[in-house]
């Protein structure tokens, strides 16, 4: 999912933690707003990293270039409109990552324009906050269980096909490893990442 060197490991740790925490907190916040208080009862309605970070998932990010946070438990039966609300909760995580990336980019450009003199280390911290949040948003929209994209697709599919999609979850880890060993994942992620950067540039071009 990501390329690492020593500098990125050091400078990228804040970005990884921010991306994971923001992503899971957004799921929890939207679920509670839509009537499911399970995330609140399980201690996930917080920005405390300890509530969201899975140590093994974080380690896997460094070892095999993709990882995970602790999934937020959701009970769709508590939603007023289960199909619609499950989609909204699923979109919330990637959406929050994109908003975080955009805000970080704005701060970086504002600092560069009005203050200047940012150190190389600080530049890379901001740059990797942006890149990792974009990466989390795109990666989690892949329609493979238990990623957010699969939740969205499942709610759009007929019940029988949705059930079959759920059955793929037992093979998800193997499928992701196989995808990482081939150019397929890059063929998906790289164009999407470039599209997001283009949209950000278009939005900010009148100001910077």
Cβ proximity of 2 and 132 under 8 Å: yes
List 24, 131, 160, 169, catalytic entry: 24
- Residue 92 tokens read as 């919330």
H-assigned helices in 115-183: 120-140, 148-156, 159-166, 172-180
Active site residue 169: no
- Residue 193 tokens read as 């990442």
Rounded CA-CA distance 12/129 in Å is 7
Distance of CA 69 to the CA centre of its chain: 10
Rounded CA-CA distance 179/157 in Å is 24
Q: How far is CA 4 from CA 7, 12, 45, in A?
A: 8, 9, 31
Rounded CA-CA distance 29/37 in Å is 9
Residues taking part in catalysis: 24
């Amino acid at each position: 999912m990501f390329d690492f060197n020593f500098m990125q490991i050091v400078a990228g740790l804040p970005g990884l933690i921010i991306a994971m925490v923001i992503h899971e907190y957004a799921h929890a916040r939207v679920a509670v707003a839509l009537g499911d208080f399970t995330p609140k009862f399980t201690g996930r309605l917080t920005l405390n990293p300890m509530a969201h970070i899975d140590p093994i998932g974080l380690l896997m990010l460094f070892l095999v270039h993709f990882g995970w946070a602790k999934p937020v438990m959701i009970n769709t039966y508590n939603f007023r409109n289960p199909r619609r609300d499950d989609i909204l909760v699923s979109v919330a995580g990637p959406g929050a990552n994109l908003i975080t990336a955009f805000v970080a980019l704005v701060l970086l450009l504002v600092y560069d324009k009005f203050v200047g003199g940012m150190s190389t280390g600080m530049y890379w911290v901001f740059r990797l906050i942006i890149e990792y949040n974009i990466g989390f948003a795109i990666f989690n929209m892949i329609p493979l269980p238990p990623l957010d994209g699969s939740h969205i697709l499942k709610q759009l599919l007929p019940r029988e096909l949705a059930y079959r999609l759920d059955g793929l979850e037992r093979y998800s880890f193997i499928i992701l490893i196989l995808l990482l060993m081939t150019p397929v994942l890059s063929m998906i992620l790289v164009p999407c990442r470039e599209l997001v950067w283009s949209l950000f540039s278009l939005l900010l071009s009148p100001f910077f």
